[in-house]
Every structure is written in C-alpha cells, then in structure tokens.
Amino acid sequence: MGLVILVAIFLLPFGSGSSTLYGTVSPMIKNLGTTQSSGSTATLTYDYTWIIAFILLVIAGVVGIFPLGSGVLGMVGMAMITISPFLIYPNGPYTLSTGAGFYTAWVASAVALVASRWHGKKATPLPASVTTTPTTPLSLFPL
C-alpha cells in the first residue's frame, strides 16, 4: 500500500486541476520565507499544515511494508489535508478540491490500516507443561 500512497501524492492529480500533491506543496515550501514575513498567520498555518501532512504521507509511503505504520500515518496526513481548509479558512479563499490522488491516498491508507489487523496476527505457541519428580536429597556432610 505504500507504493500506492506514493503514486497518489507524486503522480495522480490531487485537486480539481492536474496538479499533484507534490505540485501543490512544492511552491508552499519554496515560498515559506515570504509567507512568514508577510505576517498572515492563517496562510502560514495553512501552508505548515499541508507541508506536515505531505511529509507524513511520504513517510507512510516509505514504510509501506509495515501496514499499521503506513495506515496510521496516511490517515493522519489525509485527515490534516481534508480538515485544514475548513478549520483555518471557514469562510475563506481556500476550499477542498478533490481529485483521483486524494481518494486514492484515502483508500490506500484505510486499506493499510485494515490490513494491519491480519498482518499482526501471529500463532501463539501452546503453553509448555513442566512436571517435576521428587528426589532424595543428597547429604553433603555425612554423619
């Protein structure tokens, strides 16, 4: 599932346009200094939220062989992307536009999380039974 998450954020269109998530976050990273000096805390918070979510999704894609880690990181990253326009700009200029990459990343994260239930089950060995037999004590100092 990790490869699917990586494909969703680097190759598939994430928004209503043809831009990928990397294409959306890359200008945010490049212009972070300008945004910080502008004094707009809402824009800065929005950019930081998307950058952190992008980093979480990249890590989720890289650790794809561990379904629990990939699923949890992917779900947290996608939740940050989904909720941030509504929390930071409730009536503002940013709205959530979704594309194929958005839905693919959500589904891949959910599938990885569900797959961790089956991946984590291991057979437990039966408990060993130990029996002891009484022996006669040896005397170290015979009388």
Helices 41-62 and 21-30: crossing angle in degrees, nearest 10, is: 130
Q: Convert the pLDDT of each residue in 28-43 to its tens digit.
A: 999 999 999 998 898 8
Domain boundaries, the chain: 2-119
Encoding tokens for residue 135? 């022996």
Query: In angstroms, rounded to a whole number, what is the distance separating the alpha carbons of residues 119 and 38?
Result: 48
Q: What's the pLDDT tens digit per position in 73-98?
A: 999 999 999 999 889 888 877 778 88
User: pLDDT tens digit string along 40-74?
Assistant: 898 899 999 999 999 999 999 999 888 889 999 99
- What is d(CA 131, CA 1) in angstroms, rounded to the nearest whole number? 48
**Half-sphere exposure for 129 (CA within 13 Å, toward CB):** 1
pLDDT at 118: 76
Burial letters 70-83, b for 16+ CB under 10 A, else e: bbbbbbebbebbee
